[in-house]
Amino acid sequence: EVQLVESGGGLVQPGGSLRLSCAASGFTSSNYWMHWVRQAPGKGLVWVSRIKSYVSTISYADSVKGRFTISRDDAKNTLYLQMNSLRVEDTAVYYCARFDWPYGYDIWGQGTMVTVSS
């Protein structure tokens, strides 16, 4: 079965750090762009970051640039999001998603909740 499973969310104080993981199964994630998308409680979807495989092209939303780092371990078929200097406004469900060009996000994880609060 093709699936993505996120982990690593939780409660953290402002200024703290978390690392999210996204384990892929049923397909080789290195063959695809992999993305992180977040959704604040009761709000819409917001793109966060993406990484391509063989040329390691990376980009970030302006709101997280310099604080978040996306990476991947192709041997483990796993995507990561290192989040530093977390802010209250980073509170959201974080989804990893496979982008199958030119079709869109065809596979999504179940999401992991990140809460930034003192």
Given the structure tokens 């695809």, which residue do they identify?
32
Q: Work out whether 5 is an interface residue with other proteins (CB under 8 A).
A: no
Among 41, 44, 66, 75, binds other proteins (CB under 8 A): 44
Strands 10-12 and 112-116: parallel
Provide, rounded to whole angstroms, the least separation between the CB of residue 75 and other proteins. Answer: 26
Whether the link from the prior residue into 41 is cis, omega within 30° of 0, is no
42 burial level (CB within 10 Å; 0-12, 13-18, 19+):
exposed
CB distance 114 to 14 below 8 Å: no
Q: Work out whether 103 is an interface residue with other proteins (CB under 8 A).
A: yes
Among 61, 80, 85, 113, binds other proteins (CB under 8 A): 61
Provide, rounded to whole angstroms, the least separation between the CB of residue 8 and other proteins. Answer: 17
Q: Work out whether 104 is an interface residue with other proteins (CB under 8 A).
A: yes
Residues forming the site for other proteins (CB under 8 A): 35, 44-47, 50, 59, 61-62, 95, 99, 102-106, 108-111
